[in-house]
Chain A
Amino acid sequence: MRYIDPHVHMISRTTDDYERMAIAGCVAITEPAFWAGYDRASAQGFYDYFRLLTAVEPLRAARYGIRHFTWLCINPKEADDPGFAREVIDLIPGFLDGKNVLGIGEVGLNKNTRNELTILEEQLELAARLDQLVLVHTPHLEDKLKGTRLILDAITNQGRLDPGRVLIDHVEEHTVEMVLDRGFWAGMTLYPDTKCTPQRAADIVEMYGNERIWINSAGDWGPSDPLAVPRARLEMERRGHPRESVEKISYGNPVTFLSQSPKFDLT
């Protein structure tokens, strides 16, 4: 059965992972710009990173029949220096016309600081002005609940972003309800130790339904599993979730959300 992994950092993964994902049924991925495990020394480092995301990774994915899409931004962890962050933000419009660029992401918060919030607001403004989809990172662990509230308020206060065009990622049991209730899309990240397991993701689907929600691996340079999406599908199947529901979570919903960008085309 085909699936989409709508949040995976393939620059940190080997080509073997593309092959394994293709064998497991992956037909497309989307790769948000993120913290690479170290702070980049200059905005030029982001320029090179954006070239990698828009020119190199699509070719690597295509060798295995996987369509590669991406999102651009300065991530929250490197956004705490507003001057530096604005240098990176100035680079983004020059890449947005790239044929695999779907929008702005993964913006958000890390330690819930005023500086991070300021840069988030400026990137939300950029997305609104250029009519871009937005993919949002919510903070880790003890910072998630507070950060998610701040993020939802920032988007609402921005006033011109349709919640139906914004995906709030890394939701868990204590944040999913507020995200869905306010009209946003929700992403569940299947990531060991710090986010959801496949079992808890299936629980959340059972409790909150399968509308406006997707699953992703967020596979990256840390301990993570690029096959997490098919593992969650297996968990749903063994619980007796209908095949249509499993497909909706892992393929149909990503297609519905991402198709709001005219560049998202799987044909």
Chain B
Amino acid sequence: MSETKISCRLSRKEVIDTYFLEHRAKLLDIAAFLDRVDRAAASATDVDDFRLVAYSRALAVLGSPGPGRVRRMQEILSDATTVIPESAAGLKGAFGAPPEPES
């Protein structure tokens, strides 16, 4: 058992009883999404889509010890650069994962 600080008012069994089915469904949704990607025709350019690369790295956090998984995932899915562009001209909206820098 972990030595995580207790901050949830429910017991561990109550948390599982309350949320398991909902999050079982979400887990299957993730698997179905990844299967859908695999079943879709890929072009040469989208094999290593930066969003999927980040997604895979974030998924690895699911199996790691907690707590703090959400925060670690959020950090993986964040822009870690410190460069400040002059303007937004030519920049697109947010993707949900940091685009890889142009080489």
Q: Could you tell me which A residues sit within 8 Å of B by CB distance? A: 80, 110-117, 139-146, 150, 172-174, 194, 199-200, 203, 206-207, 238-241
Contacts and interface: CB of A to CB of B under 8 A. Distances in A.
A114 B84 contact: yes
6 contacts: A112-B85, A115-B86, A142-B95, A173-B70, A239-B8, A240-B10
Interface residues of B, number: 30
Grouping DSSP codes into helix (H, G, I), strand (E, B) and loop, the A interface class, with mixed when no group exceeds half, is: helix
A150 B85 CA distance: 13
A150 B42 CA distance: 38
Interface in B20-41: none
B93 to A, nearest CB: 8
A263 to B, nearest CB: 34
B84 A117 contact: yes
A241 B78 contact: no
Q: Which of A117, A174, A194, A239 has the most CB of B within 10 A?
A: A174
Interface string B41-64: 000000000000000000000000
A266 B37 CA distance: 52
B78 A144 contact: yes
Contacts of B1: none
Contact of B85 (A114, A144, A172, A174): A114
A199 B23 CA distance: 12
A243 B85 CA distance: 46
Nearest to B19: A199
A80 B85 CA distance: 11
A146 B81 contact: yes
Given A141-B77, A203-B70, A207-B67, 18 more contacts: A80-B87, A112-B84, A114-B84, A114-B87, A117-B84, A140-B94, A142-B94, A145-B75, A145-B80, A146-B81, A173-B71, A174-B74, A174-B75, A203-B8, A206-B8, A206-B9, A239-B9, A239-B10
A115 to B, nearest CB: 5
A247 B84 CA distance: 40
A139 B94 contact: yes
Contacts of B97: 141-142
Q: Which 6 A-B pairs have the closest CB atoms?
A: A174-B74, A141-B94, A145-B78, A240-B9, A140-B94, A111-B88
B82 interface: yes
Contacts of B94: 139-143, 194
A150 B84 CA distance: 10
Contact of A80 (B9, B79, B89, B98): B89
A113 B18 contact: no
